[in-house]
Chains A and B, each alone.
Chain A
Amino acid sequence: MTEPISTAEPVAPPPHRRTRHRVLSVIGVILVLAALWELYKVVGKALDLTAPVRPDNVTMPHTWDMILELFQPVRRGGNLLILDLLGRSFWTLREALVGFAIGALIGFGLGVLFARSSLAERAFMPYVVASQTVPILAIAPMVVVWGGRLDIPQWLSVSIISAYITFFPVVINTLRGLRSPDPKAMELMRSYASTPREVLWKLQVPSALPYIFTALKISATASVIGALIGELPAGFQTGLGRALLTFSQQFAVQSTKLYATVIVTAAVGILFVGLVTLAERQLVPESRRAGAEPGRAPA
């Protein structure tokens, strides 16, 4: 047989060089943004701008002052801010991770249920959607109070709040992904007299993985937000949410602490999404990842 084979591997630099390339581009973007920030301060001061933002050192502190603030004590005789924030990050990340795991499992379970039974979908989907229109700020205190009565550890209550906003994208995308296989592939499975469970695990779930990972990336950031917000009504002292609240109250006087905390919080979110992306690389072949050139045309 002499049929041509389409070129299999796209020409790409080796992985380590690609990684280095990516790291350099990230650093480059950060430096450019910092430079723009400083440029605005210089130009703004020269032109005496008041809008959109005053370029004074409280509203817009120097970028290096934000970084240096990390290495100042939190209060007189206290730990360095960076150490304090790292400790808090650990707490918040744990709440977020557990919330993410709970939310992802519930989301996946509901997605499977809805894919299996359109009756269940019609019955429960409206409530799933409605759950996301209720402000998390209203839900959070309820969860904390109920959790307290049930003797659930406080951080777990925060995780449940985090799970509450995490599960939604997973339900929607799991459902969509489970329905994504070519109808012909479903017929093929039928012709093998396969059980619904075999169809689920051998055809539907693998087809759904790119969809599910897209949802998990959204959920990863949402779970951090959920944890931060959940910490506030919980009066949770040891997380990043508390630090953000405290430092935002001091903003008018000393803004660098809040900016420094925002940077650390963003890093936590990025770290989390990075972990999900890493897992995606292990489980989904490159050709099937979201945003990749599709390996096959839809039916």
Chain B
Amino acid sequence: MTVPAVEARDLGKIFGQGDGRVEALREIGLSVAPGEFVSLIGPSGCGKSTLLRLIGDLLAPTSGTLVVNGKPPAQARRDRDYGMVFQKATLLDWRTVQRNVELPLEIMDVAERGERARQMLEMVQLGDFASHYPWQLSGGMQQRVAIARALAFRPSLLLMDEPFGALDEMTRELMQQEVLRIWGETGTTVVFVTHSIPEAVFLSNRVVVMSARPGRISEIIATGLPHPRNEDTREAREYYDKITEVREALRREERR
């Protein structure tokens, strides 16, 4: 059996103490297979971002165990297993697009970083914009640079926290298509936080439905949609059925 990319057991996270104590996550159990695309969805306050940050070793869990690629998350981070993309592109505005993508490669002492960064920019179809500055790009283009930067050092795990949340609907659909293509090309495992049901269904192998106060996993729904997914997928009957299924799962949680 292969080692899971992410394996969480009885994971709990509590912020603060005493009166200010907030239980963000309770009894999280989740296993993500290598190469899988998993989305976390739920109302705000359900702890989906917290779970992502625990996986990425940006936070430490209060209880339970979490193993990433067979290692503790801190070790996985030191081994540079994580690529991260946030809602904001967070590009360094004194660096060109090319040099932004090179940043992690510089830190990791990759010799052929110029060539590698160019390849990544080609992959996100921004080859012509290498010498531009971030503020010269639209929001969607900036986010593509952020994806290129996250994948430049070939991490085994891509963590995305509402990466398209700030984009308009048209750009958003284009970006979803791109992410699927890149995922297909690189074979990277993706954990994707979103609050959009169609987005979660369109992208994922499995959708993890979470509920709030405290954050728990209430249901895990396999989408089972065939690949490649494209504009036809968005009009397919199965796609709508899955959206309905996820929506009803979220509703059930609300009513409880």
Q: Which chain A residues have a beta carbon within 8 Å of chain B's beta carbons?
A: 1, 3-6, 8, 182, 184-185, 187-194, 198, 202-203, 206, 209, 284-285, 287-288, 295-296, 299
Contacts and interface: CB of A to CB of B under 8 A. Distances in A.
B82 to A, nearest CB: 5
Nearest to B128: A1
A202 B107 contact: yes
A99 B49 CA distance: 50
B40 to A, nearest CB: 18
A5 to B, nearest CB: 6
Contacts of A188: 84, 86, 90
A233 B103 CA distance: 52
Given A1-B125, A1-B174, A191-B58, A184 B88 contact: yes
B133 interface: yes
A191 B94 contact: no
A192 B80 contact: yes
Contacts of B137: 5-6
A191 B90 contact: no
Using C-beta atoms within 8 Å of the partner chain, give the interface range for chain B.
35 or more
User: In the complex, which of the residues A1, A185, A288 has the most CB atoms of chain B within 10 Å of its own CB atom?
Assistant: A1
Contacts of A202: 103, 106-107
Interface in B141-184: 141, 153, 171, 174
Contacts of A3: 138, 140-141, 171
Contacts of A209: 94
Given A5-B137, A190-B58, A192-B107, A295 B92 contact: no
Given A1-B141, A6-B137, A285-B93, 12 more contacts: A5-B137, A182-B90, A184-B86, A185-B92, A191-B77, A192-B103, A192-B104, A193-B77, A202-B107, A209-B94, A295-B134, A296-B135
By Cβ-Cβ distance, the 4 closest A-B pairs, closest first, are A295-B135, A8-B136, A184-B90, A3-B138
Contacts of A6: 135-138
Contacts of B135: 6, 287, 295-296
A296 B93 contact: yes
B80 A193 contact: yes
B108 interface: yes
A287 B93 contact: yes
B79 to A, nearest CB: 8
Interface in B48-93: 56-58, 77-80, 82-84, 86, 88, 90, 92-93
Nearest to B77: A193
Interface in B5-26: none
Contacts of B133: 8, 285, 287
Contacts of A203: 92
A191 B84 contact: yes
Contact of A5 (B79, B94, B136): B136
Contact of B138 (A5, A182, A206): A5
Nearest to A210: B94
Contacts of B171: 3
A288 B133 CA distance: 12
Contacts of B86: 184, 187-188
10 contacts: A5-B141, A6-B135, A6-B136, A182-B90, A184-B90, A191-B57, A192-B80, A192-B103, A193-B78, A284-B94
Nearest to B149: A188
Most buried by A among B77, B78, B135: B135
A203 B99 CA distance: 13
B213 interface: no
Contacts of B132: 5, 8
Contacts of B141: 1, 3, 5
Contacts of A194: 107
